[in-house]
Structure 1
């Protein structure tokens, strides 16, 4: 808010939202500017206040943003988004110091972040401040020998997980007549499992993890066809795709506390990655690990099927169903 004093000692306040520095539009600050009386033209019109010479404006000795205690600034920053906090950290020394306070970043972390640290990083980050822990969680962190990755979604603060094809139990994966591991720049894990042909498809996986309380969805990330680059362009070879229109694929999800879900669907679309929904589960306690099992099967042996790429299994908050293209 600008506060200007006229030659008759009247004060006029002009509210100005701080969009440019990251505050929400409802928050504003008070920046006081005092007008030198001898340089003010004698006029009662509001318009004259906006045409004053630059020499007429001088900073006052009243307290400003830089004089706010860091503890007070930290309380305000705790209600802002991480990107806004980082922008405000460049405003002055008080905001820079407050932006590193544990009280600011602890509110952005999952409520059971200590259990997550122990599961993913073990003792590696035991002495890190909350801001550094948050920054680390925002990256895709590998664990269980690199077969799984977990991260915090920056927009919502929710936990997301991806299980690679190497972390799944695939029937016949070691027989090169049926399966092969191929490199892929389109995978978070840099490789996928490619099915050339089989009579019996069975892919299983499980994870025991301290998920924060909430609803989660499980998706198999699959593609019919084998993609590669040719002259800098993406090309997907689908000549070996067959058998998926005969019988549906069966997806199943079960948890250690008795939840179960089953779905069936045909694999139809070729040439691009599709997230096939396997089922949902609910975590009631943030401070107790839950074991989740998931599977994909097509065991009708009356026909063969092939040409399928298996990238990973995604475990995401259920509300993310509309954002699957980002995963």
Structure 2
């Protein structure tokens, strides 16, 4: 016989379940902004209530850079989005072109860190104002023009980026993004790369820190070749130029790719730019 005020086990189970859901949603609303985009996406599968918090602007604005509004205001075309989550993935999947059209910005999908690509016309290219290089439209490029090498024996490409533009306390790598035309020549020889914080080091000391790379690795196997080019998802090739840790508030990073020793004639190189992005956590 059930007396007035008695609560059976089913009622207690329902009550505990309700409290558990409320507690879970309350915890999630507090914890999620301090996690990662991947965690937020996973949490959205727990329940409808949790999904509401996991997809909210409060959560996803924390994953965007603090200066994201200033950055997208510099886009050469409007950046449309329906929510902060939509904006996050829009910036991950579709780089935006900034300022004068020679700089692109996107987010690293895993952690929301800032990534930039310096377009070919934002780079310092030796002999680029002469008949040895030409700038042309490429339908495969995010930029209006890429640089195509007609013929040089002295190949030198440099780029610089301010550390304040990048995410702080983050390990980055810089990559030359390029292609090689069917009538190319001169890229079976080693080139040198250098990535460093600008701190007044003399040019005479640069050769010590340089890395040897091949845009077209030789057919013979060699254990000394540690950096090889890779095919990107967008169809371009890329080769790592070097890594650096960004812990400087005010400074610059100097990035170089050179082949000025062998002095063989080279032609057919097509340069889209230099991509600067965080290193994956597992690397």
* TM-score, normalisation: structure 2: 0.67
Residue 218 of structure 1: CA displacement? 1.0
Alpha-carbon distance in 2 for matches of 1:131, 1:290 = 32
1:306 aligns to what? 267
Once the two structures are superposed, what CA deviation does each residue of 1:40-94 show, in whole Å capped at 9, x if it has no partner? xxxxxxxxxxxxxxxxxxxx9x8589977976552254346343466679x35x8
Q: CA deviation at 1:251?
A: 1.3
Q: Which residue of structure 1 lines up, in the alignment, with residue 171 of structure 2? A: 215
Q: Which has the larger helix fraction?
A: 2
Aligned to 2:150: 196
Moved more, 178-187 or 157-166: 178-187
Cα shift at 1:256:
3.0
Question: Within 5 A, what are the aligned runs for 1:85-96?
Answer: 91=48, 95-96=51-52
1:221 CA displacement: 1.6
Alignment of 1:32-47 (within 5 A): 32=14
Contact 2:195-2:243 at 8 Å conserved across structures: yes
Give the 3 Å change call, closer, same or farther, for CA 96–292 of structure 1 in structure 2: same
- The answer as to 2:64 corresponding to 1:121 is no
Specify the structure having the higher radius of gyration (Cα).
1
Pairing 1:167-206 to 2, within 5 Å after superposition? 167-175=122-130, 177-189=131-143, 191-206=145-160
Change (3 A) 1:253 1:129: same
Aligned partner of 1:256 in structure 2 is 198
Cα deviation for residue 191 of structure 1 reads: 4.0
Deviations 1:154-187 (A, max 9, x none): 2222222211112112223233x42222333333
Contact 2:108/2:277 (8 A) holds in 1: no
The alpha carbon displacement at 1:195 in A equals 1.0
1:84–1:189 CA distance, 2 compared to 1 (3 A): farther
Matched-pair contact (CA < 8 Å) for 1:199–1:300: no
**2:41 paired residue number:** 83
Distance 1:217 1:256 in 2: 16
Please state whether the residue corresponding to 1:81 is helix, strand or coil: helix
Q: CA deviation at 1:321?
A: 9.0
3-state SS, counterpart of residue 216 of structure 1: strand
Instruction: Quote how far apart the aligned CAs of 1:101 are.
Output: 4.7
Cα displacement (A) at 1:291: 0.9
Deviates more, 1:200-209 or 1:295-304: 295-304
Change (3 A) 1:73 1:279: closer
**Matches of 2:99 and 2:199 in 1, distance apart?**
23
Moved more, 135-144 or 274-283: 135-144
Report the CA distance shift for 1:73/1:253 in structure 2 as closer, same or farther (over 3 A): closer
Q: Between the two structures, name the one with larger relative contact order (CA 8 Å, sep ≥ 6).
A: 2
Structure 2: state its 5+ residue gaps: 1-7, 219-228
Which of 214, 219, 224 is the equivalent residue of 1:266? 214
Q: CA 1:99–1:241 in 2, change beyond 3 Å: closer, same or farther?
A: closer
- Cα distance change, pair 63–264 in 1 and its aligned pair in 2 (3 A): closer
SS of the residue corresponding to residue 275 of structure 2 reads strand
Normalising by structure 1, report the TM-score. 0.59
Q: Tell me the alpha carbon deviations over residues 215-234 of structure 1, each in whole angstroms, 9 at most, x when there is no partner.
A: 11111122222xxxxxxxxx
